[in-house]
Amino acid sequence: MELQTSKSIFSYILDDWKLLFFLTAIFLIYLYGTSTFSFFEKKGISYIKPKFFVGSVWKRISKEMAYNEFQLYIYDYFKGKPYGGIFEGRRPTLYIFDPDLIKAVTIRDFEHFVDRNSINSNEPRYLKRSLLNLKGSEWKIIRSAITPAFSSARLKNMLPLIQQSSDQMVKFLQQYDKNDVEMKDLVGHLTLEVIGACAFGIKTDALTDENANFVKLAEQFGYVSTSRKIVLLVFILLLPQLMKYINLSFLNPEVAEELVNILKITKAERRKAESKKSDFLQLLIEAANKEKEEAEKTNSQIHLDDDTIDAQSFLFLIAGYETSSTLLSFAIHTLAIKPDIQEKLRAHIQEVSEGKEITYELLSELTYLEGFLLETLRLHPPLSRVERKCTKNYVLPGTNIEINVGDVLAIPVYGIHMDPNIYPEPHEFRPERFIGEEKNNRPSHLYLAFGAGPRNCIGMRFAMISAKIAMVSLLKNFKFSACAKTENPVIIDKSSLLLKAKSGLWVKIEKM
């Protein structure tokens, strides 16, 4: 009887081996997917309880929250604690909230956190070699080579080009007099023209032809199909180690390639040209030539090869376009819903600049304008989180928490910016926060719109100067007001990593 029962069981197993194999595979996948979930518990760190596959980020994946809202949710979840953990899929990420820890990680002990966290995908080299993705000593070398492009002297030389583009923007907008317009799209034309002129010496036709190829490409660079997003999500959350074998990116690959090809043609033409320009591309070419000469003499390694030049050019174009257009469009939306601030800002600009040429020095006198732009970025940071990857083992100051090489730390930018203990009445729009004593009494590393420390945004000053000149031109020529499509508050697109208004930023524009 027992022998017959054993044979029956054995026969059942043989007949249903596919089911058994399937169940075993499911069990092993589950085991793998949850194998890291004791990470924070072992270290004695509070954490948001994870779920299989999604970890602690279901509220994001399900689009319950926009990316900036999720950063605020995490900040509030750990309210009063200096740090706390979440799981992004199976990967543990330690958030730090304490001001002293933020300063230590981003500035004081930067040598332990030199690298940004980036996707190690098998994407084209012209994407891998950008400043965002470079690591360690190589990042330092490229950053040092690029930094002179943003010196005061070079920025002063760019002012006429920025002003010329802003004047074109005024003419471009005049056709929309007394109309309702979506500002993110329109100011995107300005930022493209400015970047094209100042960085590459090229005319994009962004302010003369609404259907210019360059404009259409720039508008589509962030579009990724739903199926591609799903594949990305699976690999990022569950199989990040396999990313290095697959060409996956958050960018539209066809558009990225076409934009880079345009930049490559510009680079080739520049190398043939007899006259030299004073822009970002020229500096990169000259730095590469100098490095090549030294390498031939000393047999040293070349870092600024063609792919690396293309990578920095592409980054300047895309990052500059997205962040600057976001800043300006939210700034104009704010003017439309806060007419008292609009009038005060216009009066300030007229008082300081009336009858004067717009110079580098004059821009520094526009303190209320600067405060207005910084406050816009506080409430609407294009990126709501800063990340650093540990490059040398570290112990969090004042704790026994060990951070090992490869561990990822994150700072919730939007959470910090909305903390009433740092920014009283955080939902109120007050440019005065960034003027005089109130600005000086607040630690600089608690304003994170451009990041903090040596790995902050290299184009910060260029972005601010471009935005100031644009705002001066716009406020002297137009009045902005709310229209039927104007949202207040703005509903943010919950499917985007970058800050985007779901229905656009609509205002009514009138010539003055």
Q: Which residues are known binding-site members for heme?
A: 457
Q: Which of 103, 101, 102, 83 is nearest to 93 (CA)?
A: 83
Question: Which amino acid is residue 236, in one-letter code?
Answer: I
In the three-class reduction of DSSP (H, G, I as helix; E, B as strand; rest coil), residue 271 is classed as helix
Written as one string, the DSSP assignment of 38-87 is THHHHHT--BPPPBTTTBT-HHHHTTSS-HHHHHHHHHHHTTT-SEEEEE
Q: Does residue 198 contact residue 298 with C-beta atoms inside 8 Å?
A: no
Q: Does residue 330 contact residue 376 with C-beta atoms inside 8 Å?
A: yes
Query: What distance in Å separates the CA atoms of residue 391 and residue 414, rounded to the nearest whole number?
Result: 25
Rg for the chain (alpha carbons), in Å? 26
Token pair 């690999």 is found at 235
> Residue 340 to residues 344, 481, 509: CA-CA distances in angstroms?
6, 11, 16
Beta-strand pair 91-96/408-412:
parallel
CB atoms within 10 A of CB 431: 22
> Residue 167 to residues 8, 170, 201, 478, 483: CA-CA distances in angstroms?
87, 5, 17, 12, 25
Query: What distance in Å separates the CA atoms of residue 247 and residue 239, rounded to the nearest whole number?
Result: 14
Query: What distance in Å separates the CA atoms of residue 70 and residue 462, rounded to the nearest whole number?
Result: 30
Query: What distance in Å separates the CA atoms of residue 386 and residue 208, rounded to the nearest whole number?
Result: 37
What count of residues does the chain have? 512
Three-class HEC string of 95-163: EECCHHHHHHHHHHCHHHCCECCCCCCCCCHHHHCCCCCCCHHHHHHHHHHHHHHHCHHHHHHHHHHHH
As annotated, the binding site includes 457
Query: What distance in Å separates the CA atoms of residue 86 and residue 98, rounded to the nearest whole number?
Result: 16
- Cβ partners under 8 Å of residue 168, min gap 6: 190, 193, 207, 208
